[in-house]
Amino acid sequence: MTTKRVLGHAFADAALLDRALTHRSVGHANNERLEFLGDALLNLFVAELVYERYPRADEGEMTRLRAALVNGGALAELARAEEIGERLRLGPGELKSGGFRRESILADAFEALVAAIYVDAGWAVCRDTVRRLFAERVAAGANTPKDAKTRLQELLQSRNLPLPVYELAGSTGEEHARTFEAVCRIESANILTRGSGSSRRAAEQLAAEQALVELERNLADE
């Protein structure tokens, strides 16, 4: 059994905590269902914080802030700070490949733990936990840089050009170490770029970054 306190919460149900820390590579009794619930809870509670902290922000600004705060990289960073990786239960393949350091696995475990707190102690305790963990990050959110997809979209909109189309071009590797390839297509500017990453979202961001570079170069030449 693991130590019962995680993310500042002392679990009454140690088995629930173990489930939240168990990756699907271990077997059927894993944290995927909790991850699903935790994703929804995080988005709601962080959205609430953003709504309260930035009363003059419009919907687009609040959406960008929430996306910058609740994504694989940000959640993995929080998981590392809480030393979640060292407590994960992984199958032999993930252990061998260093899965306890992988961003996607850490982020998923963080989501699962949030849900486990909700199941273990209820809405109020879970909400208080998330607000405590994210309060400073939300307060600093106004300084969070926009991601590549957002910057590309805003540049195209400023020129009254159609928005880009993203497509999943394929994936390679074993299930526990899969690499995704995404395409960013801007027909009006004759731009087609590719990006690869450990998730579809990461691949799309890299493809958008490349498309942004090409688009800005084309506009500078006009």
Give SS3 for 133: helix
Going across the sheet that includes 165-172, the strands are: 165-172, 179-186, 191-197
Lowest-confidence pick of 12-26, 132-146, 199-213: 132-146
Q: Is 39 a catalytic residue?
A: yes
Task: State residue 174's pLDDT score.
Answer: 76
CA atoms of 127 and 44, how far apart (whole Å): 9
Please identify which residue in the block is written with the tokens 């486990």: 116
- The residues, ordered by sequence, that sit 6+ positions from 86 with a Cβ below 8 Å of its Cβ are 100
Q: Is 82 a catalytic residue?
A: no
Is 187 known to sit in a ligand binding site?
Answer: no
Residue 88 Cα distances to 22, 31, 109, angstroms? 6, 10, 8
Please identify which residue in the block is written with the tokens 């061998």: 96
Of the candidates 39, 103, 147, 204, the residue annotated as catalytic is 39
According to the CATH classification, is domain 148-221 in 3.30.160.20? yes
The CATH homologous superfamily of the domain defined by 5-143: Ribonuclease III domain (1.10.1520.10)
Of the candidates 18, 82, 103, 111, the residue annotated as catalytic is 111
E-state strands within the chain: 5-6, 9-10, 165-172, 179-186, 191-197
* Domains in the chain: boundaries: 5-143, 148-221
Is 108 known to sit in a ligand binding site?
Answer: yes
Is 147 known to sit in a ligand binding site?
Answer: no
pLDDT tens digits along 142-180: 566 677 888 898 889 988 889 999 999 999 887 767 889
Percent of the chain scoring above 90 in pLDDT: 57
Give the orientation angle of helix 32-53 with respect to helix 59-69, to 10 degrees: 130
Mean pLDDT of the chain: 90
